[in-house]
Amino acid sequence: MKRILLGLTLLCSFATAANLPSGPLTLGQRGLSEQRQAVTLLPGVTLTTITRGQYSTANTWTVNIAAVADKAVGDKQVADLKAAGFDARLDPMQTQGVTGAGLGYMVRVGHFTARAQADNVLSELKARKLSGGVQFTGEDGGTVTGPWVIQVLAIQPGAQAQVRDAIAKDLLPGREATSSVAHRLGAVAAVNGGFFVTGNDIGTEGDLAGISVNDGQLLSEAIDGRPAFLLDRSRSTGKVLQGVTTTITVRAGDASRRATGLNRKPGLIVNCGNFAGKPTVKPAHDLTCQSDNELIVFRAAAFGEQSDAGDGFEVAVDGTGTVTATQEKRGMAIPKGGLTVQATGDAAPWLKANAQVGRKLSVSSVVTDGTGKEVALAGGQDLINGGPTLLLGGRLVNNYAAEGWSPEGYAAEGAASAASRLNFYNGWVLRRNPRTAVGTMPDGTLLLVTIDGRNATHSVGASIPEMAQLMKDLGATDAMNLDGGGSTATYVNGLIQGVPSDAAGERPDGDAIVVLPR
């Protein structure tokens, strides 16, 4: 996709906008060139584009074979590859000071000046039944010269704008590009939102993979223990909440049972963090947990006219809270103003025994933060899932283990799982990728920030530690990471800024944060 460089007929200024700190960023080496261009979108709303650094030929393309924790294991793989005629080596992972020394190693083949050369070697490896992937060493996490392209949307207190979360297609199933959401709602600007289910093979495609509250209504349950961003539409500002948990209770007569989820296919829990999940009840990013015993609540306004179909038991409840129908399988018309509750495994006989036609059934939900304090939700409030937490009170946060981003705690699941989580931690947290983050400045200014990545000559992206430092450099005191990678997108007045990292272009997502004229 062609890079778009603010082709806007708007008031432009090369001065610092929205009171962003004027000093240079700390990305990469010191003394790198840096340019800023600020554009006023609405009174109190600005977009600042920052370009920093330049491409360096010191970085090369390589083929990554595996991530290993044990050097001896890596040395053996390198020796086998060399014996097969490949230029193999062992590169240490760049820990960036946020994890213990000697995290692990990457088994790699070759140094190439052009990606096509690395692609050719990868084809040779695959022909010999070896797996791997092409990587750019400038994304490893070590000190580099860039380049970086960063978009900063700043919404000041009193701005003539409303900021809100918008669900793709106004329903949880399905996905929609950030630009499409923005255009549909008449937004002047938008960024992509939180994590979501990418395909029906691992859940309900488009479902938010974490908590979602839209205008005070709980649409999706939390990944228990993860952070969320509480957005106040009336003031267009917000705050990071730590350790968010949802407790959803179904009551039928004198009986009650905790529901496992909202508005999603049962059996699959993307990112885990659910009391019913296996192999872990803890959050674990990009891991899909399973559950045989689920109690799921569906509402038409969130899921559509028909609930998810399959084996199990389901009841329909009208707007008065009365059970109007039951059936020995899942998949019912969801009553307008009402809901359905479906059950699998040992939840099915409980629901069948207690939710008979004519009886009353109610559903209640409570959202709490990490201190156990209830988060009172009202109209005009949104909760957006994400993580890791980047900043709290102006301090950099490294809460990767508790929030489910690092390998700790997975060794008990076996060597394959531990190796997979190590590979994820290195690739997702410590290597550079496109990123999106939300944060607030001391005066309440809301910052929506994206950084392009996976494009060696345009922008190399940021690691999670770098993204935290970037938000601090931009003046945020509290900040949280949102979905990134191919999802990262900034939209302004009809145009996507920068270059999406997916070869197909802008990726359809589960939600977007939109800036609307007030």
| All domains in the chain, ordered by first residue | 12-54+148-199+386-400+427-517 (no CATH), 61-143 (3.30.70.1070), 244-367 (2.60.120)
- Per the document, the length of the chain is 518
* Mean pLDDT, the chain, whole residue set: 93
Residues 382-392 have a mean pLDDT of: 98
pLDDT level of residue 3 (50, 70, 90 thresholds)? very low
Residue 327: other Cβ atoms inside 10 A: 14
Q: What is the pLDDT of residue 376?
A: 92
Amino acid found at 397: V
Sorted by sequence, the CB contacts under 8 Å of residue 200 that are 6+ apart come out as 265
Cα of first residue to Cα of last residue in the chain, in angstroms, is 32
User: Picking from 24-28, 292-296, 422-426, which range would have the lowest pLDDT averaged per residue?
Assistant: 422-426
pTM: 0.94
C-beta of residue 355 within 8 angstroms of C-beta of residue 321: no
- Residue of 453, 448, 430 whose CA lies nearest to 438: 448
User: Picking from 95-104, 256-265, 332-341, 488-497, which range would have the lowest pLDDT averaged per residue?
Assistant: 95-104
Question: How is residue 443 written in tokens?
Answer: 């005066």
- Residue of 103, 413, 396, 432 whose CA lies nearest to 272: 413
Residues 272-284 have a mean pLDDT of: 94
Asked whether residue 16 carries a pLDDT value surpassing 70, the answer given is no
Question: How is residue 454 written in tokens?
Answer: 């996976």
305-334 pLDDT, tens digit each? 999 999 999 999 999 999 999 999 999 999
pLDDT level of residue 471 (50, 70, 90 thresholds)? very high
Q: Compute the chain's Rg from CA coordinates.
A: 24
C-beta of residue 90 within 8 angstroms of C-beta of residue 71: yes
Asked if omega into 147 is within 30° of 0 (cis), the reply is yes
pLDDT level of residue 103 (50, 70, 90 thresholds)? confident
Distance CA 455, CA 458 (A): 5
How far is CA 296 from each of CA 269, 307, 448, rounded to the nearest angstrom? Answer: 12, 10, 33
Q: What is the pLDDT of residue 11?
A: 38
Q: What is the pLDDT of residue 165?
A: 98
